[in-house]
Amino acid sequence: MKKVFLDESGECSFSHSSIYRHFLITILSIDDSEMNIIKKKLKREFAHIIKNGWDKTKEIKASDLYRNKKFGAESVKKILKSLIEIKSIEFSYIIVNKEEITNVSFRNASYGIGYNYFTGVILSELIFQDGFHNIHLIYDLRNKETHQKRHFKQYLETKIYGMALESGIPVEMKIEGLISRYNYGLQAVDFCSWAIYRKFEYNDDKFYDLLKEKMKIRSEWYLK
């Protein structure tokens, strides 16, 4: 079984108040048998950070660590380098330039519709083109939805199982929402998603480059 962890960066909103030009969905995939390695590596790195003054009541997230003058870029790089040492770990992403999406109904859709759609796009590619037929998908419960249509889990189940039926490919999929503070896989994908997002939103590829050898799917929509 593949464990698949999902994270987003930017904001899948077309509101005039949104400050982000891009929206990113990142998937970290890893063999279930190596999940304990992620836990051991992050526990070790986080223990070192806390020992050196981090508030232990606060979750260690890539963006906060980077902005902290005491830790900064080098601490983020150290964590990313420790993750890519894991044999089965891989990263996939779909990045969208929001300015180039002109469909009015899509732009005016309630928050969460775009997130569900683009997650379905990259997840179906992993399952039906790359053979991830038995997966456990874990997402952050902070995911917000304001619409009355099928919500995240229901949307993905309908899409993936419908495609499985049409293609005749047997798919086993478990979808679970967890709190990132208590899950090392979600904490790991946060660092990777942040690293990838900086390349596109801020033209800063030094973190992205650390992950390149472990990239699986790179789906780039409407990028100039």
- Find the DSSP H helices in 129-170: 152-167
Instruction: Identify whether 210 is part of a domain.
Output: yes
Report whether pLDDT(171) > 70. Answer: yes
Q: Flag whether the pTM goes above 0.85.
A: yes
- What is the C-alpha separation between 70 and 76, in angstroms, rounded? 12
Instruction: Identify whether 111 is part of a domain.
Output: yes
Instruction: Identify whether 180 is part of a domain.
Output: yes
DSSP helix/strand/coil, 61: coil
- Nearest residue to 156 (alpha-carbon basis) of 1, 4, 2: 4
Instruction: Identify whether 127 is part of a domain.
Output: yes
Contact present, 180 and 190 (Cβ < 8 Å): yes
Instruction: Identify whether 208 is part of a domain.
Output: yes
Both tokens of 145, joined, read: 């939805």
pLDDT at 143: 57
DSSP helix/strand/coil, 29: strand
Compute how many other C-beta atoms are within 10 angstroms of the C-beta atom of residue 171.
Answer: 17
Contact present, 93 and 25 (Cβ < 8 Å): yes
Contact present, 151 and 145 (Cβ < 8 Å): yes
Instruction: Identify whether 70 is part of a domain.
Output: no
> Residue 15 sits in which domain range?
2-39+79-217
Instruction: Identify whether 169 is part of a domain.
Output: yes
Number of domains into which the chain is organized: 1
Instruction: Identify whether 207 is part of a domain.
Output: yes
Name the residue with higher pLDDT: 216 or 21: 216
What CATH number does residue 168 fall under? 3.30.420.10
Report whether pLDDT(163) > 70. Answer: yes
Contact present, 84 and 213 (Cβ < 8 Å): yes
Report whether pLDDT(113) > 90. Answer: no
